[in-house]
């Protein structure tokens, strides 16, 4: 059993390194290699790692807390909050730093949803329903704004699909946010092992683990906002990585931390490699590639023996 997990880990690591090399050195134009590496490829690799691992970890938090395999990082109305931030920045501030707006939009949206679902009498069902309403609300505003500004609708639609197109190359803010987030994860992640249990279980005279739910959802929202900052709104990674890693590595949160870090960044790295090379020189938006590659992969694992549906 442990051998099998060790092998899976080695395969995952190899996959990660392979994707990293493909992203950095595949068909590298020797003449302009320095410009291309420092301005294009290295930032993309960094952003892929940041967005992938943040999404996977956030999904891990939310799936453990809600005990629902369908929970995804955008649960807290985050995607449309981010989308609205991006659209507003492009339309009203005419800014190329739309990813920063997306980051704040995502944070604000999740704060609103978490606050409305109640700090004291918190329930995950309330959270999901309020998040859903906010998604519908902000989503329709986004559609309206896009339709009202047809001359900018094309780039806006592209940006909303998700990708590494934002203006901030070698962004110090992004990297420091990521380091803070990972540090937070390292501190709290083993606690998820306790949250595996039924929330109604009470261990009196000990801390009640449920009171950490809000904290963990806040951390998940923070992680997801960072991924929005680096890659826009990428679906799927946040659902598929926690599920896959649980299938392969079991339920120990300490193992799953590293597994999700690796799996998330590998998937995004590889998808970004495909996105820029399938139809070269035309780029396919990253979000599209992830969905097209991810969906069949996901369904395959669902029906696989010992998969989620078999339990």
Partner 1 sequence: MYKLLISIIVTFFLLFSSVLAKDLSFVSLEPSLTETMYALGAQDMLKAVSSQCNHPVQAKEKPIIGDYYFINEQLLFDIKPDYFLFGELSFFMIDKYEQFGIKPVYFKNSDIESVYQNIFVLGKLTNKDEQAKDLVLDLKNKILNAKKMNKNPEKKILYVISMHPFITIGKKSFITDIIEKSGNHSVTKNIDTSYPLISIEYAISQKPDIVLIDIHCKDESMIQDLFPNAKIIKMTQEQTDFTDRPSIRIYKSIEFFAQLGND
Partner 2 sequence: MSLSIPTNKLIVLLGPNGAGKSTLLNLITDNLKIKFHIENTFKNIFYLPQNPYYPIGITTFEYLSSVFFKNTWKWFLTTDEKLKIIEVLEKIELLDKKDIKIENLSGGEIQKANIGLGLLSGADLFLLDEPASNMDLINQVKILKMLKNLTSQGVSSVIIMHDVNLAIKYADEFIGVTTAHKLIQKNVKEFFNKETLKQVFDIEFEILEENDNFYVQIID
Cis peptide bond upstream of 281, omega within 30: yes
Q: Which does 201 bind (CB under 5 to 8 A by kind): partner 2, partner 1, none?
A: partner 2
Q: Minimum CB separation from partner 2 for residue 186, in Å?
A: 8
Phi-psi region of 307 (alpha: psi -120 to 50; beta: other; left: phi over 0): beta
39 binds partner 1 (CB under 8 A): yes
For residue 54, CA distances in Å to 85, 115, 128, 182 come to: 19, 22, 20, 8
212-271 positions binding partner 1, by CB under 8 A: none
CA distance 76 to 131: 4
Contact stretch for partner 1 (CB under 8 A) within 58-66, 144-152, 175-183, 244-252: 144-152
Q: Which stretch binds partner 1 (CB under 8 A): 15-23, 74-82, 282-290, 297-305?
A: 282-290
Q: Does 254 bind partner 2 (CB under 8 A)?
A: yes
197 binds partner 2 (CB under 8 A): yes
In angstroms, how far is the first alpha carbon of the chain from the final one?
Answer: 19
Q: Tell which positions 88-127 bind partner 2, by CB under 8 A.
A: none
Nearer to partner 2, 22 or 184 (CB): 184
Structural contact between residues 270 and 198, judged by C-beta atoms closer than 8 angstroms: no
In this structure, the dihedral spanned by the alpha carbons of residues 70, 72, 77 and 79, taken in order and rounded to 10 degrees, is: -130
Q: What is d(CA 194, CA 270) in angstroms, rounded to the nearest whole number?
A: 33
Output 18 or 218, the one with its CB closest to partner 2.
Answer: 218
Instruction: State the Cα–Cα distance between residues 134 and 138, nearest whole angstrom.
Output: 6
Give the contact letters, 156-195, x = binds to partner 1 (CB under 8 A), - = no.
--xx---x-xxx-x--------------------------
* Spatial contact of 129 and 251, defined as CB atoms under 8 Å apart: no
Give yes or no for a contact between 289 and 86, defined as CB atoms under 8 angstroms apart: no
202 is a contact residue toward partner 2 (CB under 8 A): yes
Shortest distance, position 218 Cβ to partner 2, whole Å:
16
Asked if 140 interacts with partner 1 (CB under 8 A), we say: no
1 part of the interface to partner 2, by CB under 8 A: yes
Positions touching partner 1 (CB under 8 A) are 29, 32, 35-36, 39-40, 94-96, 147-148, 150-152, 154-155, 158-159, 163, 165-167, 169, 276, 280-283, 285
């Amino acid at each position: 059993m442990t051998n099998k997990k060790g092998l899976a880990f080695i395969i995952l690591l190899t996959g990660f390194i392979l994707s990293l090399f493909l992203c950095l050195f595949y068909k590298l134009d020797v003449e302009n290699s320095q410009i291309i590496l420092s301005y294009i490829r290295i930032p993309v690799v960094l952003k892929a790692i940041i967005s992938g691992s943040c999404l996977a970890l956030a999904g891990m938090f939310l799936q453990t807390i809600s005990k629902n395999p369908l929970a995804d990082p955008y649960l807290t109305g985050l995607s449309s909050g981010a989308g609205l931030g991006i659209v507003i920045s492009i339309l009203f501030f005419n800014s190329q730093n739309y990813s920063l707006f997306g980051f704040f939009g995502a944070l604000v949206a999740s704060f609103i949803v978490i606050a409305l679902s109640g700090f004291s009498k918190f329930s995950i069902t309330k959270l999901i329903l309020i998040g859903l309403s906010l998604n519908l609300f902000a989503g329709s505003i986004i559609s309206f704004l896009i339709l009202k500004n047809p001359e900018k609708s094309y780039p806006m639609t592209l940006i909303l699909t998700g990708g590494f197109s934002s203006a901030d190359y070698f962004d110090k803010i992004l990297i420091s946010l990521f380091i803070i987030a990972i540090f937070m994860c390292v501190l709290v992640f083993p606690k998820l092992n306790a949250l595996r249990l039924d929330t109604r279980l009470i261990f009196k005279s000990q801390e009640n683990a449920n009171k950490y739910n809000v904290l963990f959802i806040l951390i998940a929202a923070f992680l997801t906002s960072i991924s929005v900052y680096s890659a826009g709104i990428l679906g799927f990674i946040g659902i598929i990585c926690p599920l896959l890693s649980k299938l392969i590595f079991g339920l120990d949160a300490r193992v799953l931390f590293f597994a999700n870090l690796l799996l998330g960044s590998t998937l995004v790295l590889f998808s970004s490699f495909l996105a820029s090379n399938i139809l070269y020189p035309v780029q396919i938006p990253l979000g599209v590639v992830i969905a097209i590659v991810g969906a069949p992969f996901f369904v395959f694992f669902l029906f696989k023996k010992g998969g989620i549906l078999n339990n």
